[in-house]
């Protein structure tokens, strides 16, 4: 099982299939495709489909609207997946029928295709992940944390590597009491935050750190520099006083100047805890993540105070 979720494309147009692979692969998703109704029906029952995108005009035994005919089968055979109908010929009757069949969303193949594809897939995948994570037992969750960390370290694609690191932090923080409400890729017109954790902890230490904790995931291949740390601090400080603590995740390590900046510069009441590969190994291995995070928090506070 995986918290990343897989995407199945059902489309007989090779140009659009390639576009799907390029755009969604760039965002770190695992994308697979089939071109026929028979092939789609054979694969719907496979596990861990997060999103299924069906071409409405898929040609086949069902006629020009074969994709709509397939939607009912997709909803039935892959009930956890979010089904999105894609078409270049949006009609009110087709849209109505699609939602009646239980599809999650509708996507037009027009000039705004790229933008809406990524937004709609991200929204659909977040809904899938919420349900998937909620269904995990403790042992399943721990196995998934270990598997995600292992996969993240061996993955060769930089985009997928970054996405896996964000998934890992989502799983890790959700395993801590009071931090269960965490989401990835929160963004507005000005910025994106990798992981936002709503702080509902009853622990007195965490209650002092604001309503939200921010998590930034950075480079695997090179140490993080001072400008990136300063940018992350600014994100914390721009939260209208509702956030005072951030965790900066960098498996590739930190430049010496960055560590000095984190230790000596205190432009506000915000605190950034630096987590490298060694700390990530510890977080994955321990069952007392709350206790370990408190130790790392104390270390950062004492160092800054010194």
The answer on 106 and 41 residing in a single domain is yes
The answer on 156 and 77 residing in a single domain is no
Report the 10 Å Cβ neighbour count for 198. Answer: 14
Residue 126 within any structural domain of the chain: yes
The answer on 143 and 279 residing in a single domain is yes
CATH value at residue 59: 3.40.50.2300
- The closest alpha carbon to 213, from 173, 254, 159, 260, belongs to 173
Report the 10 Å Cβ neighbour count for 158. Answer: 12
pTM: 0.75
Is residue 112 classed exposed, middle or buried when 0-12, 13-18 and 19+ CB atoms within 10 A define those classes? Answer: exposed
CATH value at residue 238: 3.40.1350.10
The answer on 258 and 161 residing in a single domain is yes
- The closest alpha carbon to 279, from 264, 265, 297, 257, belongs to 297
The answer on 51 and 170 residing in a single domain is no
Residue where a domain stops, chosen among 75, 108, 134: 134
The answer on 222 and 130 residing in a single domain is no
Q: pLDDT at position 149, please?
A: 96
The answer on 278 and 239 residing in a single domain is yes
- The closest alpha carbon to 133, from 183, 84, 177, belongs to 183
Which residues form the domain of 89? Answer: 6-134
Q: pLDDT at position 267, please?
A: 55
Residue whose pair of structure tokens reads 């000095």 in the numeric block:
260
144 Cβ contact partners less than 8 Å away, ≥ 6 residues apart = 1, 2, 3, 136, 171
The answer on 107 and 10 residing in a single domain is yes
Q: pLDDT at position 64, please?
A: 58
Q: List the pLDDT tens digit at each of the 306 positions of the chain.
A: 455 679 999 998 999 899 999 999 888 788 999 999 899 999 999 988 999 999 877 554 445 566 777 899 999 999 999 999 998 877 788 888 889 989 999 898 888 888 899 889 988 988 888 888 888 899 999 999 999 999 999 998 888 888 889 999 999 999 999 999 988 876 654 567 899 999 999 999 999 999 999 999 987 788 999 999 999 988 998 888 899 999 999 999 999 988 888 776 555 678 999 999 999 999 999 999 999 999 999 999 887 554
281-287, long-range: CB < 8 A, 24+ apart: 281/149, 283/172, 284/145, 284/146, 284/149, 284/168, 284/172, 287/142
3-class secondary structure per residue, the chain: CCCCCEEEEECCCHHHHHHHHHHHHHCCCEEEEECCHHHHHHHCCCCCEEEEEEECCCCCCCCCCHHHHHHHHHHHHCCCCEEEEEECCCCHHHHHHHHHHCCCEEEECCCCHHHHHHHHHHHHHHHHHHHHHHHCCHHHHHHHHHHHHHHHHHCCCHHHHHHHHHHHHHHHHHCCCCCCCEEEEEECCCCEEEEEEECCCCCHHHHCCECEEEEEECCCCCCECHHHHHHHHHHHHCCCCCECEEEEECCCCECHHHHHHHHHCCCCCCEEEEECHHHHHHHHHCCCHHHHHHHHHHHHHHHHHC
Q: pLDDT at position 1, please?
A: 43
- The closest alpha carbon to 197, from 232, 221, 159, 169, belongs to 169
The answer on 178 and 159 residing in a single domain is yes
How many separate domains does the chain show? 2
Residue where a domain stops, chosen among 100, 134, 168: 134
Residue where a domain stops, chosen among 96, 112, 134: 134
């Amino acid at each position: 099982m995986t918290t990343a979720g897989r995407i199945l494309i059902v489309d007989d147009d090779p140009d659009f299939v390639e576009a799907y692979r390029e755009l969604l692969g760039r965002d770190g998703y695992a994308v697979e495709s089939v071109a026929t109704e028979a092939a789609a029906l054979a694969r719907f029952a496979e596990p861990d489909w997060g999103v299924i995108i069906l071409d409405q005009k898929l040609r086949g035994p069902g006629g020009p609207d074969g994709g709509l005919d397939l939607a009912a089968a997709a909803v039935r055979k892959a009930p956890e997946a979010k089904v999105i109908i894609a078409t270049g010929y949006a009609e009110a009757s087709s849209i109505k029928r699609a939602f009646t069949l239980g599809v999650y969303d509708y996507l037009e193949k027009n000039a705004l295709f790229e933008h809406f594809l990524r937004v709609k897939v991200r929204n659909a995948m977040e809904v899938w992940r919420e349900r998937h994570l909620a269904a995990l037992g403790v042992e399943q969750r721990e196995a998934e944390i270990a598997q995600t960390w292992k996969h993240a370290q061996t993955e060769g694609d930089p985009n997928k590597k970054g996405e896996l690191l964000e998934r890992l932090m989502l799983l890790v923080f959700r395993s801590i009491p009071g931090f269960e409400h965490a989401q990835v890729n929160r963004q507005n017109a000005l910025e994106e935050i990798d992981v936002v954790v709503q702080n509902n902890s009853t622990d007195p230490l965490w209650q002092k750190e604001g309503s939200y904790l921010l998590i930034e995931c950075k480079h695997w291949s090179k140490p993080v520099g001072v400008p990136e740390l300063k940018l992350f601090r600014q994100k914390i400080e721009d939260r209208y006083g509702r956030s005072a603590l951030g965790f900066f995740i960098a498996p590739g390590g930190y430049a010496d100047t960055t560590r000095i900046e984190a230790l000596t510069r205190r432009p506000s009441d915000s605190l950034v805890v630096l987590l490298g590969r060694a700390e990530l190994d510890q977080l994955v291995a321990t069952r007392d993540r709350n206790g370990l995070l408190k130790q790392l928090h104390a270390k950062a506070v004492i160092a800054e105070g010194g």
